[in-house]
Structure 1
Amino acid sequence: MTSHVRLSRRSLLGLTAATAAGAVLGGCGDDDSGGKSGSTKKIRWWHIANTDPMLSAWAQMARQFEATHPGVKFEITPLENEAFKTKLTTVIQAGDPPDIFHTWGGGVLFQQADAGMVKDITADVGGWRDTLIPTALNAYTKDGKTYASAVDTGMVGFWYNKELFQRAGVSAPPATWAEYLDAVRKLKAAKITPIALAGKEKWPGHYYWAYLAMRVAGLDALQQAAVDKNFNTPDFIAAGDRLAELVALQPFQAGFLAAGYSSADGQAATVGNGKAAMELMGQWAPVVERDNSAGKKGLGAKLGFFPFPAVDGGKGKITDAFGGGGGFAVGKDAPPEAVEFLKFIAQPENARIEAKTAGVLPVVTAAQDAVTDPNLKLVGETMVNSTGFQLYLDQAYAPAVGQQVNDSVAELLAGKASPQKVVQDITTAAKQG
C-alpha cells in the first residue's frame, strides 16, 4: 500500500526525476559482473527514498560501505513508489531482480520467494535479529524463513489540523465511527474540507475499507478471509456500508479522484497547507506534508494524531492497528556483500540517521532515542499498546488480490461500486489466484 521522504510505504515525485537521480547515483564503474566475476562487485540497490534528505543519506551510507569493502561498487536506483512497483515486477518476471530492493513484505515478498527471486537470509539476519524490536521481521518471515531485513515500522491513523477542528467545534478527536461522521458534518458546516484523499493512486483509499473491515469484522476475520478466499460476508459488506456513509457526505477535496499523494496539489500538500482538516495516512505523513507545503513549513504544532475510531457493535478492537514498515530483500544472484550491507544499515548510528532524517519509527531498539517528534512518539506508543496488527492489504495478500482491493475500494469511493460488488470482486480475484 505505502505508500516519507518515507521509507516505510510510499515515496515522492515521479519516474522521470527518479530515473535521473538513479543515473547520477549509478556512476560506480563499468564492471557489470554483479559479483560473479572480476575484481569489482557491483551491487544494484533499488529504493524509494527518491528525494532529499534521505536520498543523499542512503547514498552516503553506500559510499561508507564501499570505503571499507574494496572492490564493491553500488549502482543506486531511487524510484517513486508506483514506478518502483511497476519496474520491479518487470525485472522479477525477467528473472533479474536487483541485488537489494525495497519491500513491504507480506504476500508480494513471499510470491517472489516462491519464484526463487530472493534469498533466504534467515541465518544471516540472525546476526542482528536481537538488536531489533520483537515484531520487526514478522512481515518478512513465512514458515520460519526470513526473506528481508526490516528498516522501519509504523501504523496508519488520522492526522488532523487542531485549529480547523476547533474552528468547526470539534472539541476532541472522535473515538467512534458515529462521532467521526459527526465531525465531518461539523467541518462541512464550517465550510472546511474535512478530508484530503489521493484518489488517483488508490492505495490511500484502501486504508478506509481495511480499517472498517478490521473494526466491523475483527482482525481474525480479515486474515481468515484470505485463507478461505472469501470476502463475501455480511461483516465485510457492512464495512463497505460504513464507508459508503462517509462517501455520501462528500468529505473529500474537490478533484480528489484525480489527485496524487505527494504532488503539488495532492493529498499531503492539501493537509500541509491547511486546506483540509485531516488525512488517513501512515507515520511518514508529517514529513511529506511539510515537504509539500508552501515554504516547506507544514502544520507544526497544529498537527495532531488519533487512531482509527471504533465501530459501534463491531467485533474489532480500537487497539488493533493497521500499517507496516519498510525493509530490504536480497536478490537471488546478489554477492555476499549485499547481505553485509543490510547489517551495516542496521547499526544503531545508521538507524538513527534514518529516524531523524526520514521521520520514521526505527526497528533497531537502540535507535528509539532518535524519535523526538511528539506525534511520532504517539504513534509509537499506540503501536506498543496495540492488541493486534494487520499489514497493508495490498501487500499482505497475493498481488492480484491486493490490487483488486485497491481497485474495488477506489470504485466505491467514486460512487461506481456498491459494498456488495466490492466484496464479490475481491472474492473472485482471491479464488482465481
Structure 2
Amino acid sequence: MKKVVRKSLSMLLAGAVCFGGLTACSPSSKEASGTEAKGQEASKEGQVEITFATSWVGVSSSKEWFHNRLEAFNKEYGSEIKVNVEEIAGDQAYVDKMKVLYSSDALPDVIAAGGYNLIDTMQDKFVDLTPYIDEEWKNSIDEKCWEVNSRDGKIYGAPISKQVIGYFYNKDLFKKAGIEKPASTWEEFFQNCDKLKAAGITPLSMDTADSGWVTSLMLGAIVGQTEEGEKFMNTSLPKDYNQEYFVNAVSDIQKMFNEYTSTDAIGGAYENAAGNFFTEQTAIIANGPWMVGDFYDTDKAEEGFADKIGVAAFPGDVMYDAGKIGFNVAAKTEEKRKAAATFVKFMTNEDSQKANVEITGEIPCLKKEVDSKVYPLVQETIHLANTAKRHINDFQSLWFANVVDEVSVEYPLLAQNKITAEEFAKKLTEAAQKNQ
C-alpha cells in the first residue's frame, strides 16, 4: 500500500539493529544506508533475538507509529526479546527484497509487507500462527480481517488494519470547473473530468510504476460497480481476467491515461501522483485515509490545503472495505516463533491499533469501536465505507504477486495505445495461469 509520511515528532528506536547479512544500522543513521550504529547494545543473557524487516522508514507514514510501538514493546519485553530491525525504504523495494530472501531461504523472523499478499507465494516458509493466537487475541479482531490472512483454516498473518479507500478531490478546483458534487455514476465522473479539463485543470492523478497503485484503485473501483465485478474484486487469486466487465474497466483506464491525467503519469510512481495532487496540479486522487495527515503537512502542501479537500465513494457507491494482509512469521525455531508471536501480538493489540489510526489514519480491524482522535476526513471515509452499496478488496491483497508485477509492465503500453484493453486482460491472465 502506498503512503507518504506527514510531519511527525522525533522518536527514538531503542534496541534496533540490522540483520540478514547487511551492515548494522540504527534509526539515527540514514535509512538503508549500511552505516554502522554506534553504541549498539549487545544482546543480554536470556534474551531471544528475532529479526524484523520493515519499510516503515524514510517517507513512510507508518514510521512514527512503528518507532512509538517498538519503543513501547522494548520497555515491556526488552529483557526477554530483542528485535533486530532491517530498514528497507519503499514498498516495492521491500517486496522485491523479501522475494530474494525467500529464494535463498533467508526470510527474517517477522515481516510486514504493507498489504501485499506474500502468503500465497511464500506459504511454505510462513508459520501457521493458529496455535499461538489465544482466544482473547482472536476474538478482539474482526473476522474478515482474519479471513484474508488465512488459508485452508490456518492463519498465516496477524492483521493490524483494514483497507478502507475512496478518493479525494479538491473542492476549490471542482468549484472553479462548475462541479457541485462528486459523481454518482462513471458517466457523470467522466463528464466532470471534461469540465475540469475545459477549465484548464488536469482531472486525475495516475501512475504506472510499482503496480500503479493509484491507477489500479480506479481500475478496481470501475470493475466493482456491478454485482459480478464486486464478486471478482473479492475473489482470491483470480486466474481469468478475460471478462467483459474487466476489459471495459481497462478501456476506461486507457481513456483516463489518454485524456485526463498528467504527462508524468506514464512511468511515474505513486510519489508523482501524490505530488501533483498536493500542488493542486490535479483535482482527484484515489487513496486511503493514511494520506490525510499529509494534507496538513506544509512541507508537502500549502497552509490550508486540507480545508480544500473532500472525500467520496467511487461512482456506483463503491468503497474498498476489506481486511488487509498483516504480519507474517517465518522464524525457524520454536523459541523464536514464540518470541515473534509475542512481538506481533503486541504490534496488533488495541493500543497499537489506536495509535495506528491516530498517527497514520489506518483503519483499525478491531471488533470494538476504538475511542480515538482522528481527522474529520478519516471519520468521513469510515462512514462512507459503512454505508456503501458495494464493498471490494484491493488487488495487492488478492492477486498473484506476478500479476501485480505484470500490471506495471502493461500500464505504460496501455497508456501509449500500444496494446488494447483485451490484450491487457490477456497478459494478466497469462501471468496468473503460470501459478500452480
Q: Tell me whether the two structures share a fold, i.e. TM-score over 0.5.
A: yes
Match of 1:219 among 218, 221, 230: 230
Whole-angstrom CA distance in 1 between matches of 2:139 and 2:409: 39
Q: CA RMSD in A?
A: 3.0
After TM superposition, the structure 1 stretch with the greater mean CA deviation from structure 2, 420-429 or 350-359, is 350-359
Partner of 1:307: 313
After TM superposition, the structure 1 stretch with the greater mean CA deviation from structure 2, 230-239 or 77-86, is 230-239
Residue 45 (str. 1) matches residue 61 (str. 2): no
The alpha-carbon distance between structure 1 residues 415 and 281, as it changes in their structure 2 partners (threshold 3 A), is farther
Match of 1:135 among 137, 144, 153: 144
The alpha-carbon distance between structure 1 residues 325 and 375, as it changes in their structure 2 partners (threshold 3 A), is farther
Offset at residue 200 of structure 1 (A): 3.2
Whole-angstrom CA distance in 1 between matches of 2:38 and 2:342: 20
Partner of 2:256: 246
Partner of 2:326: 327
**Conserved? CA contact 1:159–1:285, under 8 Å:** no
**Conserved? CA contact 2:208–2:408, under 8 Å:** no
The alpha-carbon distance between structure 1 residues 24 and 280, as it changes in their structure 2 partners (threshold 3 A), is farther
After TM superposition, the structure 1 stretch with the greater mean CA deviation from structure 2, 155-164 or 203-212, is 203-212
Whole-angstrom CA distance in 2 between matches of 1:25 and 1:103: 28
Partner of 2:66: 58
Partner of 2:385: 383
The alpha-carbon distance between structure 1 residues 20 and 296, as it changes in their structure 2 partners (threshold 3 A), is farther
- Secondary structure of the residue aligned to 1:353 is helix
Whole-angstrom CA distance in 2 between matches of 1:223 and 1:25: 48
Whole-angstrom CA distance in 2 between matches of 1:96 and 1:292: 41
Offset at residue 269 of structure 1 (A): 2.1
The alpha-carbon distance between structure 1 residues 331 and 288, as it changes in their structure 2 partners (threshold 3 A), is farther
Partner of 2:109: 99
After TM superposition, the structure 1 stretch with the greater mean CA deviation from structure 2, 73-82 or 169-178, is 73-82
The alpha-carbon distance between structure 1 residues 60 and 233, as it changes in their structure 2 partners (threshold 3 A), is closer
- Which structure 2 residue ranges, 5 or more long, are not aligned? 7-28
**Conserved? CA contact 1:219–1:388, under 8 Å:** yes
Whole-angstrom CA distance in 2 between matches of 1:135 and 1:41: 32
**Conserved? CA contact 1:268–1:288, under 8 Å:** no
Whole-angstrom CA distance in 2 between matches of 1:21 and 1:160: 40
The alpha-carbon distance between structure 1 residues 68 and 41, as it changes in their structure 2 partners (threshold 3 A), is same
Offset at residue 255 of structure 1 (A): 1.9
Counterpart of 2:307 in structure 1: which amino acid?
A: A
Partner of 1:9: none
Residue 413 (str. 1) matches residue 423 (str. 2): no
Match of 2:292 among 266, 286, 299: 286
Partner of 1:20: 33
Partner of 1:259: 268
Whole-angstrom CA distance in 2 between matches of 1:44 and 1:67: 18
Offset at residue 295 of structure 1 (A): 5.9
Counterpart of 2:42 in structure 1: which amino acid?
A: G
- Secondary structure of the residue aligned to 2:282 is coil
Q: How does the TM-score come out when normalised to structure 2?
A: 0.83
- Which structure 1 residue ranges, 5 or more long, are not aligned? 7-15, 32-37, 311-317
Partner of 2:433: 431
Offset at residue 157 of structure 1 (A): 1.8
Offset at residue 415 of structure 1 (A): 2.8
Partner of 1:87: 97
The count of corresponding residues between Structure 1 and Structure 2 is 404
Whole-angstrom CA distance in 1 between matches of 2:203 and 2:133: 44
Partner of 2:344: 342
Partner of 1:372: 374
- Secondary structure of the residue aligned to 2:160 is strand
Counterpart of 1:50 in structure 2: which amino acid?
A: V
- Secondary structure of the residue aligned to 2:266 is helix
Deviation digits for residues 336-384 of structure 1, max 9, x if unmatched? 1211122222332232222111122122345622152121112212222
**Conserved? CA contact 1:319–1:388, under 8 Å:** yes
Deviation digits for residues 237-263 of structure 1, max 9, x if unmatched? 2222222333332x112322243323x
The alpha-carbon distance between structure 1 residues 261 and 407, as it changes in their structure 2 partners (threshold 3 A), is same
Partner of 2:396: 394
Offset at residue 78 of structure 1 (A): 3.1
Partner of 2:85: 76
**Conserved? CA contact 1:170–1:183, under 8 Å:** yes
**Conserved? CA contact 1:394–1:403, under 8 Å:** no
**Conserved? CA contact 1:48–1:84, under 8 Å:** yes
Whole-angstrom CA distance in 1 between matches of 2:207 and 2:110: 29
Offset at residue 284 of structure 1 (A): 1.8
**Conserved? CA contact 1:47–1:102, under 8 Å:** yes
**Conserved? CA contact 1:18–1:77, under 8 Å:** no
Whole-angstrom CA distance in 2 between matches of 1:150 and 1:74: 19
Partner of 2:16: none
Counterpart of 1:179 in structure 2: which amino acid?
A: E
Whole-angstrom CA distance in 2 between matches of 1:277 and 1:305: 12
The alpha-carbon distance between structure 1 residues 197 and 246, as it changes in their structure 2 partners (threshold 3 A), is closer
Partner of 2:23: none
Offset at residue 105 of structure 1 (A): 5.8
**Conserved? CA contact 2:158–2:326, under 8 Å:** yes
**Conserved? CA contact 2:114–2:326, under 8 Å:** yes
Whole-angstrom CA distance in 1 between matches of 2:427 and 2:264: 26
After TM superposition, the structure 1 stretch with the greater mean CA deviation from structure 2, 333-342 or 214-223, is 214-223
Whole-angstrom CA distance in 1 between matches of 2:274 and 2:34: 23
Q: Going by fraction, where is helix more abundant, 1 or 2?
A: 1
Partner of 1:12: none
Whole-angstrom CA distance in 1 between matches of 2:35 and 2:196: 43
The alpha-carbon distance between structure 1 residues 234 and 177, as it changes in their structure 2 partners (threshold 3 A), is same
Counterpart of 1:185 in structure 2: which amino acid?
A: D
Counterpart of 2:155 in structure 1: which amino acid?
A: T
Partner of 2:22: none
- Secondary structure of the residue aligned to 1:277 is strand
Q: How does the TM-score come out when normalised to structure 1?
A: 0.83
